[in-house]
Amino acid sequence: MKNSKLGLNSRLIHAGEFENPLGSATVPIYQTSTFIFENADHGARCFSGEEDGYIYTRIGNPTIHALETLVADLEGGVSGIATSSGMAAVNTLYMALLSKGDHMVSSAAVYGPSRVVMEQHWSRFGVESTYVNTANIDEIKAAFRPNTKLLYVETPANPTMDITDLKACAELAHQHGALLVVDNTFCSPYLQRPLELGADAVFHSMTKFINGHADIVAGMIVARDKALGSKLRSMMVNLGCNMDPHQAYMVIRGVKTLGIRIERSQENAMNIARFLESHPRVAWVKYPGLESHPQHELAKQQMYGFGSMISFELKGGFEAGKVLMNNVGLAILAVSLGGVETLIQHPASMTHSKVSAEAKIKAGITDGLVRYSVGIEDAEDLIADLEQGLAKI
Ligand code: LCS
């Protein structure tokens, strides 16, 4: 059966290209740095591109290729480029798509280092950037300049859970001759497929939902067309931020359960978001599935589910949040997200600590904001854990 006819859960198990001469049931780890040529002419043909063939693992490897084609299939793109981490994917995109004198418009609320590396380092090479609230399309429009080459958005945004209208962004970017790149980490292709909405490329920190077990750091870019895919691959190869075959094997193993993990964790998240919203010590909760989320309607349109990331603030701000973080027992106090285990963290002093205080305020990353990544434990246990922690305030 053709993969395109299969549902997403079937494709999680069966999609991805892999030559399988020995008929192994799973993709084995080709733990090799280099590949043997049949003869000198064969080597030359592989290098010239006349013939497809593996040369060297930084350029390509069968285990990594299986994962690249799998995630590209899930996202509906043509070309997957695996990277050593999510940040390697971010920097590959910046370096491939922006040159001296170019300008990028991005979400004020993005993963801290994605912004910090642009403002503190890419700026040294003459790349300009403007950060706006991309949940407001007028702010994006106003930020565009003649030299804007890239619109880079994260939705839902880390950690504010603001939602950006991807269809409107794609139209706007293309009207200006710019590309739209979307960080789809918070959703995974199970819950959102930006290429369907007009994005040119999408990427992931696969450290999160795609791998899902908090045991691997990894990234993936998927391009809408071959030309862009080749440009990005060539940059990844030259930067040398390739994935390792063992890493690819681990992610292939993890991603198989993406669907059931997401279904379970987002069901938990809905229950927990409602619990938090009704709790007297909670000032506000941002979860796309709550009617009170400012872009709840947009979330229903462009996402296939509301996911399992929640941000909230307690009455009593940071001090109260600290008491909660120090007193939860089941939820783990750690950064990262999207795994089977529930995690809690404080963005202002942890994941977004390097973002300037002024930028944090503008982005809505308040000092009291607590981020909660819901896992697949029993919802009653997680709620009981939060309840006893909140009672300590
Ligand atoms: N994009 C998003 C939305 C992220 O959340 C992260 C990591 C990255 C990119 C970078 O990926 P990495 O290199 O770590 O694979 N986010 C983290 C977080 O929120 N806590 O710890 C890491």
For the stretch 26-47, pLDDT in tens is 999 999 999 999 999 999 999 9
For the stretch 379-392, pLDDT in tens is 999 999 999 999 99
Q: How far is the CA of 111 from the centre of ligand 1 (A)?
A: 6
Q: How far is the CA of 321 from the centre of ligand 1 (A)?
A: 22
- Residue closest via CA to ligand 1's atom 20 equals 336
Same-domain check for residues 8 and 155: yes
Same-domain check for residues 222 and 316: no
Query: What distances in angstroms separate CA 266 from CA 193, 283, 342, one per listed residue?
Result: 17, 22, 12
Residue 86 near ligand 1, beta carbon < 6 Å: yes
Same-domain check for residues 249 and 269: no
- Residue closest via CA to ligand 1's atom 5 equals 111
Same-domain check for residues 171 and 314: no
**Residue 1: pLDDT above 80?**
no
Active-site positions read 58, 111, 183, 208
The residue-averaged pLDDT of 140-146 equals: 98
Q: State which residues form the domain around 76.
A: 3-255
Same-domain check for residues 31 and 169: yes
Q: How far is the CA of 205 from the centre of ligand 1 (A)?
A: 6
For the stretch 184-193, pLDDT in tens is 999 999 999 9
Same-domain check for residues 165 and 299: no
Q: What is the pLDDT of residue 4?
A: 65
Ligand 1: atom nearest CA of 185 is: 3
For the stretch 157-214, pLDDT in tens is 999 999 999 999 999 999 999 999 999 999 999 999 999 999 999 999 999 999 999 9
For the stretch 209-241, pLDDT in tens is 999 999 999 999 999 999 999 999 999 999 999
Residue where a domain stops, chosen among 255, 272, 302: 255
Same-domain check for residues 204 and 289: no
Residue 85 near ligand 1, beta carbon < 6 Å: yes
Residue 152 near ligand 1, beta carbon < 6 Å: no
Same-domain check for residues 137 and 156: yes
Same-domain check for residues 268 and 351: yes
For the stretch 68-117, pLDDT in tens is 999 999 999 999 999 999 999 999 999 999 999 999 999 999 999 999 99
Same-domain check for residues 221 and 78: yes
Residue where a domain stops, chosen among 229, 255, 281: 255
Which CATH number does the domain housing residue 376 bear?
Answer: 3.90.1150.10
Residue where a domain stops, chosen among 255, 279, 307: 255
- Residue closest via CA to ligand 1's atom 17 equals 336
Same-domain check for residues 147 and 66: yes
For the stretch 232-270, pLDDT in tens is 999 999 999 999 999 999 999 999 999 999 999 999 999
Number of domains in the chain: 2
Same-domain check for residues 73 and 142: yes
Q: How far is the CA of 6 from the centre of ligand 1 (A)?
A: 30
